[in-house]
Amino acid sequence: MPETSLAGPTLEQLEAARVLVSRVAQETPMESSRYLAELLGAPVYLKCENLQRTGSYKIRGAYNRMAQLSDEEKARGVVAASAGNHAQGVAFAARELGITATIFMPVGVPLPKLQATKNYGAQVILRGHTVAEPLLAAAEYAEETGAIFIPPYDHIDVITGQGTLGLEIYDEVPAVETVIVPIGGGGLISGVAAAVKQRAAAEGRTVRVIGVQAANASAYPASLDAGYPVDVPITPTIADGIAVGRPGAVNFDIIRHLVDEVTTVSEDDMAKALLVLLERAKLVVEPAGAAGVAAIIAGKVTPSGPTVVVLSGGNIDPLLMQRVISHGLAASDRYLTLRIPLPDRPGQLARTSELVAQANANVIEVLHTRHGHGLKIGEVELELSVETRGAEHRDLVVETLRAAGYHPHIVED
């Protein structure tokens, strides 16, 4: 168990922020999930911040921070750096407060995020190819112009704004025993933990808070082991919204005191989770926002009564969604690619297609070539992309082909 000494914003500060934030943020739906409840062995509820204005929870912290600025500070404008969700939150909040906003974003940022940020009225400057470069550029801009830098997570006002989500969670599921939250820099989970822990303590009970990071960008496990924030290398991840290489200093202290556990999930886990949310819950969620669901699917969460999973955002580029869905189907054994060497004579393509059909699978793409690596003279290679219904059906397709004398090779991603 973490320490229970007070850390982070007080209940009074959180309630005051809730009044402020309610001017722009919606109280998002809380949906139950029978499918996830069966997997976990406890009731599961989805807090749908993917349906929030601007598509994520970020508007809460951005607005709360900017609403605290003096008139003189507001007149100087604000500046921020982000690859997407924070940019949109700052741009929207600035528009509502009548503040000029400049946002630095990396070159190659998905077009929908770039366009949305511009549409909210912010000036967008593209700089660098990672989030680190826009952050440096934003800090330099603030120094040169006097604009107020709005950090994405490492500030108590931002944390307090995000914590208003925790108050909603406790109001909507009063019997909650576990809250699962995605972690990047730590702004969301530190605010949510402060809110639900204090509300529960006031009633003489406890709530477990679990953080989830992408395995390819998991600074918190190493930092918590070390006892202080450390830098970790980030390898490519579909969860760009939580790809942060070092915990926020303020966030780390709160998380160290209040968060019970931090776990990690793989790229496959998040792709499967996105697919489950699309198919079972009819919800569009970005990979980072689906990290908590991924933890349940991957068996990383021990059941302990009513559980709330925060779906932190739904801003996903349609092209990325297409790739993630395909990856999720493959990871769930519902999409199979086979390479099959065949004798170069008529009827072989028809025969293999017939065998796949006999196994009740659907061929969706075919590549037929005489130039594959390692092919003998008189051989061709057939590459089949096949829809299957899961692991058992996939194995049936492969065994059907082998029983007919073919030698299929499964192509892994």
Q: Can you give the C-alpha Rg of the chain in angstroms?
A: 24
Give the residue-averaged pLDDT of 104-127.
91
Does some domain include residue 225?
Answer: yes
Closest CA to 148 of 82, 65, 44: 65
**4 in any annotated domain:** no
DSSP label of 264: E
Of the pLDDT bands very low, low, confident and very high (cuts 50, 70, 90), residue 413 is low
Q: What does the mean pLDDT of the chain come to?
A: 91
Same domain membership, residue 179 and residue 81: no
Q: What is the pLDDT of residues 360-379, one digit of tens each?
A: 888 888 887 766 566 666 67
Task: Indicate if 183 and 297 belong to the same structural domain.
Answer: yes
**Positive or negative CA dihedral for 205, 263, 152, 281?**
negative
Record the tokens describing residue 260, joined without a space: 């019970």
Q: Same domain for 251 and 356?
A: no
Choose the weakest-confidence range: 182-191, 298-307, 382-391, 392-401.
382-391
Of 210, 231, 214, whose CA–CA distance to 222 is shortest?
Answer: 231
Task: Copy the structure tokens of residue 76.
Answer: 């100087």
Q: Does residue 316 belong to any structural domain of this protein?
A: yes
pLDDT at 310 over 90: yes
Q: What is the pLDDT of residues 63-105, one digit of tens each?
A: 999 999 999 999 999 999 998 899 999 999 999 999 999 999 9
Residue 3 in domain? no
Give pLDDT tens digits for 138-191: 999 999 999 999 999 999 999 999 999 999 999 999 999 999 999 999 999 999
DSSP string of 93-130?
A: HHHHHT--EEEEE-TT--HHHHHHHHHTT-EEEE--SS
Q: How does pLDDT run across 195-231, given as a tens digit for each residue?
A: 999 999 999 999 999 999 999 999 999 999 999 999 9
Task: Give the H/E segment covering residue 145.
Answer: helix 132-145
Closest CA to 88 of 118, 47, 68: 118
Express each pLDDT in 256-275 by its tens digit.
Answer: 999 999 999 999 999 999 99
Find how far residue 287's CA is from the centre of its chain: 4
- CA dist 226 and 228 (Å) reads 6
Q: Are residues 36 and 71 in the same domain?
A: no
Q: Is the per-residue pLDDT at 1 higher than 50?
A: no
The domain total for the chain is 3
Same domain, 294 and 304: yes
Q: Which pLDDT score is estimated for 196?
A: 97
212 phi, psi to nearest 5 deg: -130, 125
Range of the domain at 102: 59-149
Q: What are phi and psi of 234, to 5 degrees?
A: -105, 125
**CB-based contact 44:36 (threshold 8 Å):** yes
The whole-angstrom distance between residue 103's C-alpha and the CA centroid of its chain comes to: 22
